């Protein structure tokens, strides 16, 4: 992994680029959501991919990768926020210009399918990125904590997640310190065996997912276990598992049983209950920043902000 690089903080008047590196969505909805950034005093530049459709993708691989490369290279853009996830970022990972990204460190923000890009950019450039809510998440009734995430880009703050945000449950007792890595489980699994494979050695691994039946989570967690990702980790954070319930297979193991089989067996300090992922609120996490988790304090505390002050 490359030496860690932090992007600089934003200032009022800075420009944020909005791009769609995965699936397409309603452009009008995304443009309306961007007003949240404008209310913070930021300018917004909407990418062309928000108007493109290529099957379930927001444009061809060349278009989506090209726009992301261009936004990193553009000196007038100080941050890049993804419009939505869906599917498709793994298809463009080998088309990104990582030298350009390393030479132009900027805030890069998203979650869900964007997990693949967090893994790839972090591994090949060392840039700290942000696993956080996207334009698709910003509506008139969005939880205030979700919206407040964006304020940390202008006023750097150290992430301190305690039970004031949500109840946390001890799965395996202990404390651990290391850089934060992770994201959506299905995307983490899809990095295995590629040049962008997630490295968890000595790190705090956070995981979330949505709409995956228990047997599918069983398969994916088993693959991560067999790949040594839990054994290598310093600690494990279990985040939101939205609607991960039996559907086609009514007789099912519970999520708790699956976690016991694949995660607890690694014996690493493990906490669950974090509102990170496909949930409300959706708390942003600086990927690559060192943090300490404690099952005794029921907390996750970063050592520093994710942006340069």
CB 93 within 8 A of CB 117: yes
* Bond prior to 106 in cis (omega within 30° of 0): no
Place of tokens 């927001």: 58
302 dihedral zone (left: phi>0; alpha: psi -120 to 50; beta): beta
What confidence score (pLDDT) does residue 39 get?
93
Domain with CATH 3.50.30.60 in the chain: 160-302
Show the tokens assigned to 80.
């890049």
- CA 119 → CA 92, 170, 278, distances in Å? 13, 27, 18
- Bridge partners of 19, per DSSP, are 82
What confidence score (pLDDT) does residue 1 get?
53
CB 102 within 8 A of CB 126: yes
* 3-state secondary structure at position 245: coil
Alpha helices for 176-290 (secondary structure H): 185-190, 214-226, 229-232, 255-262
- Bridge partners of 43, per DSSP, are 15
CB 179 within 8 A of CB 203: yes
How far apart, in whole angstroms, are the C-alpha atoms of residue 109 and residue 155?
16
Q: What are phi and psi of 308, to 5 degrees?
A: -75, 135
How far apart, in whole angstroms, are the C-alpha atoms of residue 193 and residue 21?
22
Find the helix or strand (DSSP H, E) in which 44 lies.
strand 43-46
CB 196 within 8 A of CB 179: no
Residue 208: active-site member: yes
Residue 112: active-site member: yes
How far apart, in whole angstroms, are the C-alpha atoms of residue 86 and residue 58?
10
Catalytic residue among 67, 186, 208, 212: 208
Q: Closest Cα partner for 137 from 109, 100, 174?
A: 109
Domain with CATH 3.40.50.10740 in the chain: 15-154
For residue 201, give every residue at least 6 positions away whose Cβ sits within 8 Å of its Cβ, in sequence order, or none: 232, 233
What confidence score (pLDDT) does residue 162 get?
98
Q: Closest Cα partner for 168 from 77, 54, 30, 294?
A: 294
- Bridge partners of 179, per DSSP, are 290
- pTM, entire model: 0.96
Catalytic residue among 58, 67, 278, 299: 278
- CA 2 → CA 99, 124, 276, 309, distances in Å? 11, 6, 26, 22
- Bridge partners of 301, per DSSP, are 160, 292
Residue 278: active-site member: yes
CATH of domain 15-154: 3.40.50.10740
pLDDT tens for the chain, residues 1 to 309: 578 999 999 999 999 999 999 999 999 999 899 999 999 999 999 999 999 999 999 999 999 999 999 999 999 999 999 999 999 999 999 999 999 999 999 999 999 999 999 999 999 999 999 999 999 999 888 999 998 999 989 999 999 999 999 999 999 999 999 999 999 999 999 999 999 999 999 999 999 999 999 999 999 999 999 999 999 999 999 999 999 999 887 789 999 999 999 999 999 999 999 999 999 999 999 999 999 999 999 999 999 999 997
DSSP 264: G
Task: Tell the CATH topology of 160-302.
Answer: Glucose Oxidase; domain 1 (3.50.30)
Catalytic residue among 58, 112, 294, 299: 112
């Amino acid at each position: 992994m490359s030496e860690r690089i932090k992007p600089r903080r934003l200032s009022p008047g800075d420009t944020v680029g909005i791009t769609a590196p995965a699936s397409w969505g309603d452009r009008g909805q995304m443009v309306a959501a961007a007003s949240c950034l404008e209310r913070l005093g930021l300018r917004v530049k909407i990418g062309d991919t928000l108007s493109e459709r290529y099957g379930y993708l927001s444009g061809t691989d060349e278009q989506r990768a090209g726009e992301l490369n261009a936004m990193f290279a553009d000196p007038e853009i100080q941050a890049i926020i993804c419009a939505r996830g869906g599917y498709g970022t793994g298809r463009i990972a080998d088309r990104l210009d990582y030298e350009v990204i390393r030479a132009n460190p900027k805030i890069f923000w998203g979650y869900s399918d964007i997990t693949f890009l967090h893994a790839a950019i972090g591994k090949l450039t060392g840039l700290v990125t942000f696993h956080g809510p996207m334009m698709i998440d910003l509506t008139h009734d969005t939880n205030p904590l979700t919206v407040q995430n964006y304020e940390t880009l202008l006023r750097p703050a150290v992430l301190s997640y305690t039970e004031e945000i949500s109840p946390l449950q001890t799965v395996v007792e202990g404390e651990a310190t290391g850089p934060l890595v992770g994201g959506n489980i299905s995307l983490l699994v899809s990095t295995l065996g590629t040049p962008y494979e997630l490295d968890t050695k000595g790190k705090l691994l956070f995981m979330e997912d949505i709409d995956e039946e228990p047997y599918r989570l069983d398969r994916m967690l088993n693959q991560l276990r067999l790949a040594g990702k839990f054994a290598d980790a310093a600690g494990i954070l279990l985040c939101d598992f939205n609607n991960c319930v039996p559907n086609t297979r009514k007789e099912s193991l519970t999520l708790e049983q699956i976690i016991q089989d694949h995660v607890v067996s690694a014996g690493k300090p493990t906490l669950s209950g974090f509102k990170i992922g496909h949930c409300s609120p959706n708390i942003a996490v600086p990927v690559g920043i060192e943090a300490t988790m404690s099952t005794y304090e029921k907390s996750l505390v970063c050592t520093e902000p994710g942006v340069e002050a």
